[in-house]
């Protein structure tokens, strides 16, 4: 059954919903869809894969750059489901992960950039133990999801027992690492890379010499076999984050790329894509058929790996900024969703934010909306089933700030309505730009839409609202 939110009341409707032509009116229409159940009456499994430092120009399925990495698995998923062409994350990895964990814009939580794990609890942010989280809600749902995280957590500092941070946030298991494979993210300060890193397995710390790509997907395969059904497994890849080590040779065709930032990044993207394909191919066909697969980036590509027209301005390209910036190069990410009931083979240009994935998964899992806390995202589930249903999102917002440096840090911020984008960089760019099909800022504009976006950002009640 569908429920349409119309003004002040919920009204049961038939299978067809009349969608207003006026986008502003459509923004006030919310549709609720029941989950797709299997023969045992269970909602679908959910596999959420988070790519690290991978913008859409790195994924050949998007057709944005000639030197994009081959991504046949992503392409196959796009043919089976919905590929979103205008998806945003936050400019840094930790804020995006916080949004995916809590369903809130991380600025509400006081988080504005990557967490420095070596800082003290008085200097740095960590996810509060009592925070509402998606894995906790899924585990407590009527379906009693089994939940697991493989790969990177990056939402706690070592001073709060970060090795158990994901477990305290509601995951039944965490096999992977607390942060990135770099020296200042290890509890002992020793060197790390993708081939020699500090492993965490349900709170127990050890060392691993298995490449992070193989570990992240291999652990996922094991946990998917052992968790109760339905399950929610989040694979938070360390690739293609630096260091720029050699990926497994049988998973890419770039040859020796160690130390070559642009090539190593593309090799890690291809290797991750092929490893995901191996994981999906190895699943029991019945389990695979009842699994929703979501692949999304955590932020844009780093400037050092960007080439061609997506290289930074001044280095032959047109990018005004990559990872860590609120320009398109920092916030535009790949996103594909496929699974039972989802319309196949569709490219969708609706505005989508990573924070929307939390209500989307809750809807997929059949968690009643009257049990949800207030969330900043809108559910994509009705639109995934029927592309005539709007999402209700008319604007997207991103921000970045250094949460540990001062009480009121300077904030870089941006808001986009799908055409006009207002940007304010602390101490830098301030103004509006047109953003079209290419994920880069175009010519400057000073239209009324720009003034409206600026006013929204300055309004605490509307700053994080999706419409």
In tens, the pLDDT along 432-446 reads 999 988 889 998 988
Q: How far is CA 366 from CA 140, 358, 361, in A?
A: 12, 12, 9
Taking the chain, what is the end-to-end CA distance rounded to the nearest angstrom?
25
Could you tell me the pTM of the whole model?
A: 0.93
pLDDT at 382: 96
CA angle 453, 325, 157 (to 5 degrees): 115
pLDDT at 408: 74
Q: Using the predicted structure, report yes or no on whether residue 183 has a pLDDT greater than 80.
A: no
Residue 211 CB partners (closer than 8 Å, separation 6+):
194, 195, 245, 247, 248
How many C-beta neighbours within 10 Å does residue 341 have? Answer: 15
How many C-beta neighbours within 10 Å does residue 228 have? Answer: 11
**Residue found by looking up tokens 């995916």 in the block:** 100
Instruction: Give the dihedral sign, CA 298/213/361/402.
Output: negative
pLDDT at 122: 82
Task: Give CA–CA dist 102/328, Å, rounded.
Answer: 24
In tens, the pLDDT along 105-137 reads 999 999 999 999 888 888 889 999 999 999 999
Q: Using the predicted structure, report yes or no on whether residue 452 has a pLDDT greater than 60.
A: yes
In tens, the pLDDT along 309-344 reads 999 988 888 888 999 999 999 999 999 999 999 999
pLDDT at 427: 79
Residue 429 binned pLDDT confidence (cut-offs 50, 70, 90):
confident
244: left (phi over 0), alpha (psi -120 to 50) or beta: beta
Closest C-alpha to 181, from 165, 198, 200, 201: 198
Q: How far is CA 29 from CA 50, 160, 369, in A?
A: 30, 42, 15
pLDDT at 361: 98
Domain(s) labelled CATH 3.40.720.10 in the chain stretch across 45-394
In tens, the pLDDT along 39-76 reads 999 999 999 999 999 999 999 999 999 999 999 999 99
Task: Give CA–CA dist 30/374, Å, rounded.
Answer: 15
How many C-beta neighbours within 10 Å does residue 386 have? Answer: 16
Query: Which class in CATH covers the domain with range 45-394?
Result: alpha beta
Mapping DSSP to helix (H, G, I), strand (E, B) and coil, where does residue 162 land?
helix
Task: Give CA–CA dist 186/374, Å, rounded.
Answer: 35
Task: Give CA–CA dist 60/48, Å, rounded.
Answer: 20
CA 431 from chain centre, in angstroms, equals 27
Write out the two tokens for 52: 């690290």
Mapping DSSP to helix (H, G, I), strand (E, B) and coil, where does residue 193 land?
strand
65: left (phi over 0), alpha (psi -120 to 50) or beta: beta
Task: Give CA–CA dist 23/443, Å, rounded.
Answer: 25
């Amino acid at each position: 059954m569908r429920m349409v939110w119309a003004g002040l009341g919920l009204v049961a409707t038939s299978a067809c919903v009349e969608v207003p032509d006026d986008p502003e009116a459509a923004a006030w229409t919310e549709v609720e869809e029941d989950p797709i159940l299997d023969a045992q009456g269970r909602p679908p499994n959910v596999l959420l894969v988070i790519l690290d430092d991978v913008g859409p120009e790195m994924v050949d399925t998007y057709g944005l750059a000639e030197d994009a990495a081959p991504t046949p698995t992503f392409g196959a998923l796009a043919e089976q489901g919905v590929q979103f062409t205008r998806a945003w994350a936050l400019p840094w990895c930790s804020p995006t992960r916080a949004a995916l964990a809590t369903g809130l814009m991380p600025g509400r939580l006081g988080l504005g950039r990557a967490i420095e794990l070596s800082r003290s609890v008085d200097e740095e942010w960590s996810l509060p133990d009592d925070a509402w989280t998606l894995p906790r809600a899924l585990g407590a749902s009527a379906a009693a999801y089994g939940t697991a995280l493989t790969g990177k957590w990056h939402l706690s500092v070592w001073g709060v027992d970060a090795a158990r941070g994901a477990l305290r946030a509601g995951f039944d298991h965490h096999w992977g690492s607390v942060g990135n494979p770099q020296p200042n993210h290890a509890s002992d300060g020793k060197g790390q890379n993708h081939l020699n890193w500090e492993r965490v397995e349900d709170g127990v710390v050890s060392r691993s010499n298995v490449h992070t790509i193989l570990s992240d997907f291999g652990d996922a395969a094991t946990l998917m076999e052992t968790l109760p059904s339905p399950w929610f497994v989040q694979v938070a890849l360390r690739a293609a984050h630096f260091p720029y080590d050699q990926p497994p040779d049988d998973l890419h065709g770039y040859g020796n790329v160690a130390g070559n930032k642009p090539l190593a990044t593309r090799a890690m993207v291809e290797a991750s894509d092929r490893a995901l394909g191996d994981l999906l191919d190895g699943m029991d066909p019945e389990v695979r058929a009842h699994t929703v697969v979501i692949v999304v980036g955590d932020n844009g590509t780093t400037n050092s790996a960007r080439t061609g027209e997506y290289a930074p301005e001044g280095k032959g390209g047109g990018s005004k900024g990559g990872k860590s910036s609120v320009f398109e190069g920092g916030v535009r990410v790949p996103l594909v969703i496929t699974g039972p009931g989802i319309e196949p083979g569709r490219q969708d240009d609706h505005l989508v934010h990573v924070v929307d994935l939390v209500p989307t998964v809750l809807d997929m899992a059949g968690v009643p909306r009257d049990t949800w806390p207030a969330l900043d995202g809108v559910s994509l589930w009705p639109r995934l089933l029927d592309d005539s249903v709007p999402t209700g999102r008319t604007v997207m917002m991103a921000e970045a700030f250094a949460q540990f440096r001062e009480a009121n840090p300077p904030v870089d911020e941006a808001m986009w309505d799908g055409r006009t984008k207002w940007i304010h960089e602390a101490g830098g760019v301030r103004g509006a730009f047109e953003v079209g099909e290419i994920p880069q800022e175009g010519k400057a504009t000073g239209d009324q839409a720009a003034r409206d976006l600026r006013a929204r950002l300055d309004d605490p009640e509307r700053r994080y609202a999706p419409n």
